[in-house]
A and B are shown apart, each in its own frame.
Chain A
Amino acid sequence: MTTPAAGGAAGTGDPMRQLFQKEMRSLDALFGFLTRFTRAERIDAAASYAIALAVEEFFTNMVKYSGGQGNPVLVEALRVGETVTVRLEEETTAPFDVTRPTQTQFDRPPLERRPGGLGIHIAKELLDDVQYDFKEGTSRITLIKHLEK
């Protein structure tokens, strides 16, 4: 379930924002939101893919691991010049950094690997920066992608 989009005059540099229930079935609506944003901002296919993948990986980690099941996640997307910033925010009682480095098992034989940690690794490779902060009961993940000119 989602709430209607708020704000977001496309192409003006204003952010687009939408609240999403923290559950897997929100993914369709989340992709819809991101598609509207990347189309409005004329972001190319490769960068749009990178943004969508990163948002999915961090959002699903929040669903699975960050607790606070009843709290929605606010997603805000903004393009300023050649930089795209996407923030995911939720109210939490304690810091829980889903962006922290994880074990990717690249040192294991390929057919013995487990996929844990893989999504965050891919997301970080596709983005230019990932930040986490916790302030006044709000966890905030900030994803930054620089666009090629």
Chain B
Amino acid sequence: MFTITVNETGVIELTGRLDAAQTERAREVFNRLSDSAVVDMQHLDYISSAGLGVLLATQQRLAREGGKGLRLVHMNKMIRDVFRIARFDLIFTIE
């Protein structure tokens, strides 16, 4: 199961498993962003390259538009390893 919500402070909260079957739901939310956003991954258990592609496309669009981009927080160790292997730690601010 995967859910994506935007809380009252504008933080995007990802929960569950962001796999290739869930990217459209994620894209709908990320496509509405402008400038910057915090993405809370505390309850995200899993992400594959399909989910990484959504984040990358968003970061690229925000950069083209002069925005500050995404700040990814509370990432678990396994997802952090995936970001490192993909060299996405060079693309995103990860805290």
Q: Which residues of A contact B (CB under 8 A)?
A: 24-25, 27-28, 31, 45-46, 49, 52-53, 56-57, 60, 106, 110-113, 115, 118-119, 121-122, 125-126
Given A49-B78, A110-B87, A111-B59, are A57 and B21 also a contact pair (CB < 8 Å)? no
Checking B53, B78, B82, B91 against A111 with a beta-carbon cut-off of 8 angstroms, the contacting residue is B91
B37 at the interface (CB under 8 A from A): no
B73: chain A residues within 8 A (beta carbon): none
B77: chain A residues within 8 A (beta carbon): 46
Q: Are B48 and A106 neighbours in the complex by a CB distance under 8 Å?
A: no
B20 at the interface (CB under 8 A from A): yes
Q: Report how far A2 CA is from B90 CA in the complex, Å.
A: 39
B:42-62 near A, CB below 8 Å: 46, 48-50, 52-53, 56, 59-60
The chain B residue with its CB closest to the CB of A23 is: B21
A25: chain B residues within 8 A (beta carbon): 21
27 A-B contacts (beta carbon < 8 Å): A24-B20, A31-B19, A46-B77, A46-B78, A49-B46, A52-B46, A53-B46, A56-B19, A56-B20, A57-B49, A60-B20, A106-B87, A110-B87, A111-B60, A111-B91, A112-B60, A113-B91, A115-B52, A115-B53, A115-B56, A121-B85, A121-B86, A122-B49, A122-B85, A126-B81, A126-B82, A126-B85
Checking B19, B78, B81 against A27 with a beta-carbon cut-off of 8 angstroms, the contacting residue is B19
A106: chain B residues within 8 A (beta carbon): 87
Q: Report how far A51 CA is from B85 CA in the complex, Å.
A: 15
Q: Which residues of B contact A (CB under 8 A)?
A: 17, 19-21, 46, 48-50, 52-53, 56, 59-60, 63, 77-78, 81-82, 85-87, 90-91
Q: Report how far A59 CA is from B1 CA in the complex, Å.
A: 19
